[in-house]
């Protein structure tokens, strides 16, 4: 080997080593200032509650403030676009939800591609829905509800915002159980819940954090949770999958970053949030509202998002769901 070639290889090896050292130092120094966690929902919404827990966990473990920056609007697309356009330096992150997977089909002219433009960091929580009925509905179990709906097609109804997770959970149930339950559009779930308790609505597929208090108080009757297995917050309530094989529908939350964010920063964030999710006290805080910790590697979370996007695209097309 001639001297010039040997020198070139030595320099190349040195450059590679320097780059690896630089990456390690960058990860070690991160974060050195405040980090924004952008959320596409208003303060007080269900995702906001858990997002603030996640921000607290990251702040405690990484020694810098992580704060929730609420950017509601357009089904969370405004907040997501803000992250897509942010510098990929780890100081602007996305607190994403199931809406990011469903919006890919519900909105035809998005200025971004969620799977392409947001780098997955990791999962945070899964939040099941509860199938509940009002006090006047003459069923005591999910099997009875299915039988009643088949005997009385179109006579039961449920209320939900167009295109939201509540509607999609219901439509997946209708598709897989072979029943006809009518969707009544609502601007918000609060009024739908009020109408359910008064008897104007018959069935609900609302998220557990919103519904669990009414179930525990006896105002609503829970028939099933929409996850594949039972939930420890209501262990006596069966899962839909015990009656409808393969059914699973739950909201999920997770962290994302702008495409191009250094892998070492993503890995550091992933390891930190997974460590927080492993702590019993944090698991309990999530379980109190029916949530289940969802630790994943970045690759696993990316695959999960892709599968969710495909799954809900089929349901949206089946239901003909549209955004107001």
**pLDDT value at position 324?**
63
Contact indicator for 159, 205 with CB cutoff of 8 Å: no
**pLDDT value at position 114?**
97
Using alpha carbons, list the distances in angstroms from residue 142 to 157, 195, 208, 268: 15, 21, 17, 44
Point out the residues of the chain with pLDDT beneath 70.
1-6, 8-27, 324
The distance from CA 317 to its chain's CA centroid, rounded to whole angstroms, is 20
Ordered by start, the domain boundaries in the chain are 31-127+250-319, 130-242
Nearest in space to 268 (alpha carbons), one of 32, 102, 87? 32
| Burial class of residue 201 in the structure, from the number of CB atoms within 10 Å of its CB (0-12 exposed, 13-18 middle, 19+ buried) | buried
- Whole-angstrom distance, CA of residue 178 vs CA of residue 305: 27
Q: For the whole model, what pTM was predicted?
A: 0.86
Contact indicator for 208, 289 with CB cutoff of 8 Å: yes
Looking at the structure, give the CATH architecture of the domain made up of residues 130-242: 3-Layer(aba) Sandwich (3.40)
**pLDDT value at position 112?**
96
- Whole-angstrom distance, CA of residue 224 vs CA of residue 170: 12
Sheet containing 130-133: order of strands: 182-185, 157-160, 203-204, 130-133, 221-225
**pLDDT value at position 8?**
59
The distance from CA 202 to its chain's CA centroid, rounded to whole angstroms, is 26
Could you check whether 31-127+250-319 and 130-242 share the same CATH topology? Answer: yes
Nearest in space to 220 (alpha carbons), one of 212, 229, 209, 232? 212
Domain 31-127+250-319 sits in CATH at 3.40.190.150
Using alpha carbons, list the distances in angstroms from residue 119 to 31, 45, 106, 254, 255: 18, 24, 21, 11, 9
Per residue in 77-89, pLDDT tens?
A: 999 999 999 999 9
**pLDDT value at position 89?**
97
**pLDDT value at position 239?**
96
Nearest in space to 293 (alpha carbons), one of 231, 236, 242? 231
**pLDDT value at position 322?**
81
Contact indicator for 311, 164 with CB cutoff of 8 Å: no
Tokens representing residue 215 in the block: 């179930």
């Amino acid at each position: 080997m001639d001297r010039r070639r040997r020198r070139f290889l030595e320099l190349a090896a040195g450059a590679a080593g320097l780059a690896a050292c630089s990456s390690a130092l960058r990860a070690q120094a991160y974060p050195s200032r405040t980090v924004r966690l952008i959320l596409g929902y208003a303060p007080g919404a269900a995702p906001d509650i858990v997002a603030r827990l996640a921000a607290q966990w990251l702040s405690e473990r990484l020694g810098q403030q992580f704060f929730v920056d609420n950017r509601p609007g357009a089904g969370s697309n405004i907040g997501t676009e803000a992250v897509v356009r942010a510098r990929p330096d780890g100081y602007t992150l996305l607190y994403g939800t199931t809406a990011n997977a469903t919006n890919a089909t519900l909105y035809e002219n998005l200025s971004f591609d969620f799977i392409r433009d947001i780098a997955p960091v990791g999962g945070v929580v899964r939040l099941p829905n509860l199938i509940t009925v009002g006090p006047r509905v003459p069923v005591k179990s999910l099997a009875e509800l299915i039988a009643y709906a088949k005997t009385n097609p179109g006579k039961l109804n449920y209320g939900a915002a167009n295109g939201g997770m509540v509607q999609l959970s219901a439509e997946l149930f209708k598709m897989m159980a072979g029943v006809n339950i009518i969707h009544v559009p609502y601007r918000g779930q609060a009024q739908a819940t009020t109408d359910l308790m008064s008897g104007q609505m018959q069935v609900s597929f609302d998220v557990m954090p919103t519904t669990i208090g009414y179930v525990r108080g006896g105002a609503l009757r829970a028939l099933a949770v929409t996850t594949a297995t039972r939930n420890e917050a209501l262990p006596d309530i069966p899962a839909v999958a015990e009656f409808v094989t393969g059914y699973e529908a739950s909201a999920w939350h997770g962290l994302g970053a702008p495409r191009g964010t250094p892998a070492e920063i993503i890995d550091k964030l992933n390891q930190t949030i997974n460590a927080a999710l492993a702590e019993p006290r944090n698991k309990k805080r999530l379980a109190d509202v029916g949530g289940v910790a969802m630790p994943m590697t970045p690759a696993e979370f990316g695959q999960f998002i892709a599968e969710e996007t495909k799954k809900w695209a089929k349901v949206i097309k089946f239901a003909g769901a549209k955004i107001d």
